[in-house]
Chains A and B, each alone.
Chain A
Amino acid sequence: MSAANLDRTLAALADPYRRRVIDLLRERPHRAGELAEATQLSFPAMSRHLKTLRSSGLVEEDRDEFDSRVRIYRLRPEAMGPLRDWLEETDAMWARQLAAFKAHLQKSHK
C-alpha cells in the first residue's frame, strides 16, 4: 500500500467542489466549462480545482477531437485504488479481530 498516494487522493477530495466534479465525471467526460457551470464556479476557480485533481491522478485531460482549444476531463478510476485497498483491508482486519474477540469472550464466559 502506498501511503503517499492515498494521502494525495484524500487531499484532492477534501473539497466539496472537487467531489462534485468527480461525481459529474463518473457519468461521462465533461468540458471544463460545463464543470464550471454545473458547480456555479468561475472558470479560473474551476481550473484550479481541475489542476489539483489532475496532479492527484484522479482525472485526466484531453483535447476535444473537433476543437483543440477545448479541454475534456475524464475520471481515472484506478487512482482510487490505494484508498479502496485500505478500506477493504481495514474492514477485513476488524471483522476478523472482532470475531476473534467474541470467541475469546465466549470461551472465558463458560
Chain B
Amino acid sequence: MGSAACGVQGSFAEEPQVTSKVFIALRVPADPARTFLAFTQEISLWWQPDPLFRITPQGDGRLEFEPGPQGRLITRFDDGTLFEIGHICAWEPGKRLVFTWRHASFAPDQSTEVEVRFEAVGDETRVSIEHRAWDTIPRAHVARHGFPEHATLARVADWWRRSLAALRALD
C-alpha cells in the first residue's frame, strides 16, 4: 500500500523510545454516536483550511473519511486530484478513531498518528485528540501491535513538556 503502518508507537521490548505528542480535548454538544458521525462523515463541512499549516502545497482540499476499519482519510481538489493523508487504524463508532497522518512534505517513510476519543459527559461528548509525532525506530522494524504502557507514555510526555519549556526559556 505504500503508506506507513499503523501503531507507529509499537514498542520494542528492550529498546526505549521517545515519541512526542500533542494532546487536546474539548466538550461538544452532542452524544458520542452523533459526534463520531459528524467528525468522520461531515469533516468537509467543519474542517478549516489553515494557510500556515497546509496538508499539501495546493492547500487542504476537501477532506473525506472513507468509513470503516479499512478506510482512508483523503482530500480532494477541484482539479480532480486526490491526496491520501492517511489510513484508518481503528474505527470504533461512538468511541475511538485512529488514523495515520502525513503531509505531502513528509519523507515517504514518515508518518504521524492521530487518535480521537469520544467519551460521554452527561448528554455531551468530550472529544480528545492525541497527535503523535514520528517515532524513533525505523518503520520496517515497528511491530504492528500495542502502544507502550501508559506510565511510559506519560513519563515521556512529561519529559518533553519540561524540555520544551526549558528550551523556550533559553531562547
- A residues at B contact (CB < 8 Å): 1, 3-4, 6-7, 10-11, 13-16, 19, 22, 26, 77, 80, 83-84, 86-87, 89-106, 108-109
Q: Which of A6, A89, A105, A108 contacts B52 (CB 8 A)?
A: A89
Other than the given A7-B134, A19-B159, A90-B131, 7 more pairs (CB < 8 A) read: A13-B136, A14-B17, A14-B137, A77-B171, A98-B26, A101-B26, A105-B34
Q: B167, A13: Cβ atoms under 8 Å?
A: no
The answer to whether B52 touches A77 (Cβ under 8 A) is: no
C-alpha gap A103/B28 in the complex (Å): 9
From the candidates A4, A77, A92, A98, name the one contacting B127 in the complex (CB within 8 A): A98
Interface size class of B (residues with CB under 8 A): 35 or more
Residue from A19, A83, A96, A105 within 8 A of B50 (CB atoms): A96
Contact of B110 among A7, A19, A84, A97 (CB under 8 A): A7
Interface pair B53/A92, CB less than 8 Å apart: yes
- Would you call B42 and A80 a contact (CB within 8 A)? no
Would you list the 7 A-B pairs with minimal beta carbon distance, nearest first? A104-B46, A14-B136, A98-B26, A100-B48, A77-B170, A90-B22, A10-B136
Within 8 A of A (CB), among B48-85: 48, 50, 52-53
Answer whether A3 and B107 are a contact pair too, CB < 8 Å, given A83-B20, A93-B53, A101-B127: yes
Footprint of A on B, CB under 8 Å?
15-20, 22, 24-30, 34-35, 38-39, 42, 45-48, 50, 52-53, 105-107, 110, 112, 127, 129, 131, 133-137, 159-160, 163-164, 166-168, 170-171
A108 vs B34: C-alpha distance when bound (angstroms): 11
Total inter-chain residue pairs, C-beta < 8 Å: 111
CB distance from B160 to the nearest CB of A (A): 8
